[in-house]
């Protein structure tokens, strides 16, 4: 199961584009709301999650944790003990941990980026504690994928999809959405 966290203030494009790419790859995705099953994104768009995070526990079915950015969504996710529990479980079990925009700061604050390459939204570089900042759209280092922001949300989602469905499937999805 790939768990995508959302909270009030989450960047909608980063959440929805990522979820869309993962579901196009027919992967098992569950969206988890922080504080409620219904959250309001950073641009006042209502988002209905599959479940309230407080009702779900991480277990052996966890394949990945995804944290969209946006403000104050990133801060709301970081403050969530339940989200922290999922991130810790993923880190302890070498599962994929993915964060975009401001959200790589959550990983930096936890020390998960030490000695790793990572990217983030401009202005958040200092929050990538111990990381080697790479000025790129999407960066993978080991079990961590980080991305710059909403402009690369599709590529971010496809990078995650590639991990579980393979490069051929990710390329097929990309081709299907690029046809003019």
Q: What is the domain count for the chain?
A: 1
And the tokens for 128? 């990538």
pLDDT by 10-residue block (mean), the chain, 180 residues:
99 98 98 97 98 97 98 98 98 99 98 98 97 98 98 98 98 87
Contact predicate 91/70, CB 8 Å: no
Q: Any residues with CB less than 8 A from the CB of 121 and at least 6 apart, and which?
A: 69, 101, 102, 148, 149
pTM recorded for the entire structure: 0.97
The CATH number linked to 59 is 3.40.50.880
**Range of 62's domain?**
2-178
């Amino acid at each position: 199961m790939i768990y995508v966290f959302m909270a009030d203030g989450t960047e909608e494009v980063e959440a929805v584009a990522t979820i869309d790419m993962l579901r196009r790859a027919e992967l098992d995705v569950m969206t988890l709301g922080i504080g409620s099953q219904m959250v309001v994104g950073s641009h006042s768009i209502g988002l209905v999650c599959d479940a309230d995070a407080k009702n779900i526990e991480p277990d052996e079915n966890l394949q990945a944790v995804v944290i969209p950015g946006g403000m104050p969504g990133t801060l709301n996710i970081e403050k969530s003990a339940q989200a922290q529990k999922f991130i810790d479980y993923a880190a302890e079990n070498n599962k994929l941990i993915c964060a975009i925009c401001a959200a790589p700061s959550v990983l930096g604050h936890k020390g998960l980026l030490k000695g790793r390459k990572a990217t983030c939204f401009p202005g958040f570089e200092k929050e990538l504690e111990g990381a080697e900042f790479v000025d790129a759209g999407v960066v993978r280092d080991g079990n961590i994928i980080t991305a710059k922001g909403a402009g690369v949300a599709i590529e971010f989602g496809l990078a995650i999809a590639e991990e579980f469905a393979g490069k051929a499937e990710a390329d097929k999805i990309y081709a299907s959405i690029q046809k003019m």
